[in-house]
Amino acid sequence: MNPHLKKLQPYPFEKLFELKRGITPPGDKPHIALSIGEPKHPTPHFLAESLIAHLHGLTNYPVTKGLLELRQAIADWLSRRFALPSENVDPERHVLPCNGTREALFSFAQCVIDASRQPLVLMPNPFYQIYEGAALLGGAEPYFLNASRETGYLPDFESVPDKVWKRCQLIYICSPANPTGSVITAEIHRKLINLSDRYGFIIASDECYSELYIDESAPPPGLLQSAHALGNTDFKRCVVFHSLSKRSNAPGLRSGFVAGDADVLEQYQRYRTYHGCALPLPVQHASVKSWQDEDHVVENRAAYRRKFSAVYEILKSQLDLSLPPAGFYLWPETPLDDRQFARDLFAFHNVTVLPGSFLSREAHGLNPGRNHVRMALVAPLEECVEAAHRMREFIQSL
């Protein structure tokens, strides 16, 4: 067996299962899950209709590179969304479809890491655990960048010493962030791109929450957008990851894309040819429709905005809580240990949240997820409101 497998930690939801083991919550309160980031809003009808209309495509093997029609739709969307000149986003060179961001974020590290040179992979802390697993199985050592209240819940890039940047081969960033909802600014993008130019590492920007933001007039900037503004029109060492899971409420579709540096994507496409991960043709056709339509995305944002507002009003006097600029998570501090908070909230009120310490690691003298919980506002509005009322009652009983 691959010896690196022994380095993998249990996934957060495995830890949550063990935390709740043996507990029988009150039967008169239906369970409300705010623990997993699985969108529950309706998937657009046109997406399902397109899937059905193209089921005959199941008789054909899809190619790794995907349909030109899909790559063109993605390139057009990138140009519109991030104000990129269309001539700078070539669907033949700069775009590669993938099975959602999770699969691509994980496999990407296996492709780009040179394990013979004592590599470091930098990543935010707390973080999406796929980054850590990808680094470990790629033969690299994770290096955690704490994101705490003191740093505005952004990774602490300023504290990274020169010797770490020298060993860095890949850095994962996530904006809007899971779980904090913080947004990396164009100025921070520029600093990272300048560091990449100096030290030669690749920036992998997980932007799967980019279309969920509070202020309709202020969409979060993207890495390619910032690179182009710097004159890096070839997106050298810059790669972004996007998905329809959150944007279009289609987590089961497993459809996304990777875009950016053409030289990096050429090698990554070669890797993926062996990896065997081409999107089925019906999925590709449905994805075209989703990337071409913005109306359903605007409605999606409005639905999350209503839930944020309602839950915040109920809990703002009970928890150390602030509204994030983007994403669909709340990341409050807890009045007691985050694991005990989550366990007792489930035991007495049948509401599940995810302890923050399950999403982070002890690094540089602290665990930035400790005494926080992640609340995914993915359930219907009425359930989110009911969960907030139960949580308020729970806190008042402490």
Separation CA 344–CA 300 (nearest Å): 32
What's the rounded mean pLDDT across residues 47-57? 96
CATH number of 54-293: 3.40.640.10
pLDDT at 279 over 90: yes
| CA 217 and chain centroid, separation | 22
Confidence of residue 276 (pLDDT cuts 50, 70, 90): confident
314, 319, 322, 327: CA torsion to nearest 10: -80
Tell me whether the CATH fold assigned to 9-38+296-397 matches the one assigned to 54-293. no
pLDDT of the residue at 37: 94
Beta partners for residue 96, in sequence order: 258
Quickly tell me which residue has 């939801």 as its tokens. 13
In 3-state terms, what secondary structure has residue 259? strand
What gap in Å lies between CA 74 and CA 122, rounded to an integer? 28
Q: What is the DSSP string of 180-195?
A: T-----HHHHHHHHHH
Task: Tell me what the mean pLDDT of segment 193-207 comes to.
Answer: 98
Pairing mode of beta strands 256-260, 95-98: antiparallel
The closest alpha carbon to 8, from 121, 120, 133, belongs to 133
Say yes or no to pLDDT of 184 above 90. Answer: yes
Question: Candidates 3.90.1150.10, 3.40.50.10190, 3.40.50.720, 3.90.850.10; correct CATH number of 9-38+296-397?
Answer: 3.90.1150.10
Average pLDDT over residues 366-375: 97
Residue 148, Cα to own-chain centre: how many angstroms? 18
Which pTM value belongs to this model? 0.97
> What ranges do the domains of the chain cover?
9-38+296-397, 54-293
H or E, element range at 67: none
**Is residue 298's pLDDT more than 90?**
yes
Tokens standing for residue 23: 């507990």
Do residues 328 and 37 lie in contact, with contact meaning Cβ atoms separated by under 8 Å? yes
